[in-house]
Structure 1
Amino acid sequence: MIIVAGTLIILIMLLALYIAFLQRQLRNINRQLDKRLTEHTRQPIRLELLSRELNALAININKCLKAEENLRLKGIQEEKNFKELIANISHDLRTPLTAIKGYQQLMKNGDLSADQLKKLHTAQKHADELGRLIEHFFEYSYLLNAEPELNIKRINLTNLVAECLAASVTTLEEHNLTVRLEETPTVFVLADKEMVTRIIQNLIRNCVQHSNGDIKVSLLATNKAILSFKNPMKNTSVIDINRLFDRFYTGDKARSNSTGLGLSIVRLLAEQMGGSTAAFLQDGFLEIRVELPL
């Protein structure tokens, strides 16, 4: 009995040591995985192994990590290629459009009948719209590829919004739209004035293209400045609110006068200044909010 008891004690001690060793190896795996996550290293998992199962686990973890790294590098390359593609397309489209507008101007200066002038005017409107779409491509490709040089200053956001709305009165009237700017205390932000101006212009353009009624603009200062554009939508069922800021997303596929880049540019500019964007859809109204640092 003493021999059996002694043997059992020895076996229990050996088993306890083995379990402690396995726990040490598991802690080592967790420590190395944490290091990869926090320090963004690409080192494979290394162990002092006695267990075949742990050895197989480490090998499979390393295979998964390698596959994930390959996917990450592939995604980076594809994103780079995509940015270059957008830049090249926007550049290549500008040259023939300039030629088209030049020939249209020559035709306008010629001897045309009233019917021909009407058709030429229609063609010029489409050419101008194409020009605006190309400018969106060019702006987006520039923002993606260029390192932003921010000129952060304290600017009067309330006055800037009012100025941009006043400059867009003609366009708004052409689309039978009116804007109501809510009266609130003056809001100041720490931001790049040119970038904020482009944000406001894109928000106005988005409303002009998609609003089914008058536009409500409001400003609010909490821990951040909140700029809100709210407008009614004719068909809210076609809008995926979670994809609204995705590039090239257009809710209404029948609309051909939008690249789906306007709100993507808004988000990109806001994030470059430390801000954020959000969209809300309620009771037939679409609200776009932009938050900027005070």
Structure 2
Amino acid sequence: MGLYIVFFGILFVFICTKYYLLKKGIRHLSKQLTLLADGETEKMLELSLTDRDLERLAGQINRHYARQRSLTAGALRHEEQLRESIAGISHDLRTPLTVIMGHLQLLERTFLSEEQLRRTDTALRKARRMNELIEAFYELSVLNSEQLQPHKESVNLSNLLIDFLTENAFLLEAGGIHPDILLPEKSVFLRTDPGMLERILQNLLTNAVRYSPGDIRISLSENPEGSIMLRMENPVEAGARPDVERMFDRFYTGDAARTQGSTGLGLAVVKLLAEKLGGEVTATLTGNWLAVTLNLYADL
């Protein structure tokens, strides 16, 4: 009888110990799963458990997690490639579309019949709308890209600005705007990404032309310490008071009148690209003149 009592006693202790260790293993596994689900760790589950069944369960969870992580990484790569493709296609479409709109504007000034003028005007309006959509696609792809990095090279900023304004002469002419351009006597050079800088110029010019009731001022200067300042100024409509503190926020359009043809993303892209280039952009309102200033700094 005494042997039975000892045997059952040992068995009871063994079962209790096994139960305790099993509960401890489950709590440990649960804690790791919670950290994993909350994104506080990316470590696989530990397999040094006291129960073989729990170890097999943890191993199966690890295999499932590894597969999900691989699928997520693949989806993120695909999404980034898609954004890059959208940005590239948008940029490639902009140049021929700019030429098309320029020629349509020139065609409107020739001796056209009333019917021809109506058709030309319709084509020009649709081309402008297409251009707005292309710009919106590009801006969204840029703002949502975490991998966007500049590819810097030595750039003659004076020549880049002149070429840019020449290519966008139609935009100025369409708004009846005559820009006052101030350039330094000597060419200004800087290591920067020309594509990003052109996009900054495009968005600044589009913004100035869209909301300016008169001519605009564009100036480029080099400070003694080597930094470059590009400023674009335009008058604002009487009574308009754009919030210079919010101008670079996504989707900011100021008021209902400013939403026409605008996504409110252009200046947000300017800010993002300026920061990518190691610079900064600011806005000031003096009287009825709005000035947007881009400061770029030489690589140290």
TM-score with structure 2 length normalisation? 0.57
Which residue is equivalent to 2:166? 166
Instruction: For residues 229-285 of structure 1, give each alpha carbon's deviation from its aligned partner in whole angstroms, at most 9, with x where no partner exists.
Output: 011112353411111111221124124122222211111111111111100100210
Aligned residues between the structures: 193
Whether 1:198 aligns to 2:199 is yes
**1:1-294 alignment runs, 5 A limit:** 117-146=116-145, 147-184=147-184, 185-222=186-223, 223=225, 224-235=227-238, 237-255=240-258, 256-294=260-298
Query: How far did residue 220 of structure 1 move?
Result: 2.2
CA contact (8 A) 1:230 1:288 kept: yes
> Is the CA contact (8 Å cut-off) linking 1:165 and 1:204 kept in structure 2?
no
Q: Is the 8 A contact 1:228 1:288 kept in 2?
A: yes
Q: Which runs of 5+ in 2 are unaligned?
A: 1-39, 41-75, 91-112
The code of the aligned residue for 1:157 comes to L
Residue type of the alignment partner of 2:133: I
C-alpha contact 2:158 2:183 (8 A) present in aligned 1? no
Provide, for residues 59-103 of structure 1, a one-character-per-residue CA deviation record: whole Å limited to 9, x for no partner. Answer: xxxxxxxxxxxxxxxxxxxxx9xx99xx7xx99xx9xxxxxxxxx
C-alpha distance in 2 between matches for 1:213 and 1:128: 24
- For 2:140 and 2:240, how far apart are their aligned partners in 1? 30
- Change in Cα spacing, 1:281 to 1:123, as seen in structure 2 (3 Å) is same
CA distance in 1 between partners of 2:231 and 2:200 (Å) = 12
Calculate percent identity across the aligned residue pairs.
32
SS in 2 for 1:213: coil
Match of 2:13 in 1: none
Partner amino acid for 1:287? Answer: A
In the alignment, the residues of structure 2 paired with residue 196 and residue 228 of structure 1 have an alpha-carbon distance, to the nearest angstrom, of: 13
TM-score by length of 1: 0.58
Tell me, which stretches of 5 or more residues in structure 1 are unaligned?
1-41, 43-79, 95-113
- Decide whether the 8 Å contact of 2:143 with 2:269 is kept in 1: no
In the alignment, the residues of structure 2 paired with residue 133 and residue 183 of structure 1 have an alpha-carbon distance, to the nearest angstrom, of 30
Provide the alpha-carbon RMSD of the alignment.
Answer: 3.1
Q: Distance in 2 between matches of 1:143 and 1:280?
A: 25
* Structure 1 pair 284–117 and aligned structure 2 pair: CA distance change class (3 A): same
Give distance in 1, aligned partners of 2:239 and 2:274: 25
Q: Could you tell me how far apart the structure 1 residues matched to 2:118 and 2:282 are?
A: 42
- Quote the Cα distance in structure 2 between the aligned partners of 1:236 and 1:265: 27
Q: Which residue of the partner structure matches residue 107 of structure 1?
A: none
**SS in structure 1 of the partner of residue 240 of structure 2:** helix
- Contact 2:157–2:188 (CA<8 Å) still a contact in 1? yes
